[in-house]
Structure 1
Amino acid sequence: MTVGGLRAHSVHTFAGILCGSPTTAARNSAVPNVDTNGLRKWVTEQRDLLVAAYETRDEIAGITGIVYRCGGSIEGLPVCRGAMGWMTAREVELWRDISDEIFLVERTAAIDELELLDVDIELNKDVLVVENSPRLYSLVSNGAVGEKWPGSNFVACSTKEPLDWRWWSLDNVVVRAIAKAWSVDPGRLFASLEERDDDFHEVVIGTLNGQPFRSAVLIVRKSDAL
């Protein structure tokens, strides 16, 4: 990120130069000079290039959160992983034998480390591991870290719907898809989750080397939307 040609800050997850307008007198933070349409167009082009270059869904899944946060289309990109492997939002919507209770697990550093060691967790059929949606940049104002960039106005480009619970996260996308699979009102499901957003439980989500593997989960229940 540059201001007047000089480096102001770093932006994570993609390489290049962004021109910005300073938010501090010290010019150590800036707002990128890019509009929603420009960023959405660019990130969608990058998505297509990377999808063509990558060979596996594991690799492609790593870009989904970035594309989503920048307002690009994530149609056809994996958003979560279940017992059957990686799934797109559409595949979740069409999940015929979906359970009435789904355990959402955030893909953590611990899970990533296991995958790097080529050790697979055999997930239970009612578990979905959701990709992270990185916040690429934190604006600084008056010496304090403030708003994250890209913000909700960029994400709104990709959803084309009112933003609900956890708009910044692919959790939002997955829960919306689960609601469609259950044929329930997404708004009511989001409202129930909003009421207990920090209600995490540690449960067995699968097996690792034949032994039960536990993780913190957020429980999504069909009954909560009825």
Structure 2
Amino acid sequence: MTDTLHAPIRKESKSEVIPKSVLIPFILLTSCFALWGLANNMTDVLIAQFRKVFTLTDMQSGLVQTAFYGAYFVLALPAAIFIQRYSYKAGVLLGLGLFAGGALLFYPAAQAMAYMPFLMALFVLAGGLSILETSANPYIIAMGPEATATRRLNIAQAFNPVGSITGVVIGKFYILSQLNPATDTERAQMPAEQLTAIQTAELNAVMMPYLAVAA
């Protein structure tokens, strides 16, 4: 009789998608899926912003994508080795730390008003995302029964487009909207103080969303 009563309970626990014991960690980790969707789409916006602020050529502005996706290429294998040696959790924490550090580097980059510091900040930020993505997917899978691993991962990945849409909205209505309409020719003819004031405002518009995410 006792075995009969307990049998359905054991069966239900095996099919549980998100065990209650890991619900909060699952929610926190799922937010990371939205995080890298946000960062990916905001990066596309930076190309137009930096091209205007620093009067860059197409090749120079393309370095934004090189710095961002180059970090993924460089750190993918080291991330896998790190996770294998330590744990998924350690990988997530390291990835978040690097992401936050890269986002915070946007502040000194904006103060320096130079292109290269922004590229360095993007490389560090994207390096953190590379480690985070490498860690988060298998971590989500390991958070419950193997039978429901795919469903669990699908739930987490559903939040990636949410972050992507948020990135587009922030880029369009906050960052790009702060661009001064002055052309490159008009900027070249401006007094140095006026041009500096415009560039400062435009770079601050880039900096603030990243500082907010890091916080």
TM bucket, shorter chain: under 0.3
Could you say which structure has the greater relative contact order, defined with CA pairs below 8 angstroms and 6 or more residues apart? 2
* Structure holding more helix per residue: 2
Q: Structure 1 length as normaliser, TM-score?
A: 0.24
Q: Structure 2 length as normaliser, TM-score?
A: 0.25
* Structure holding more strand per residue: 1
From the CA coordinates, give the structure whose radius of gyration is larger. 2
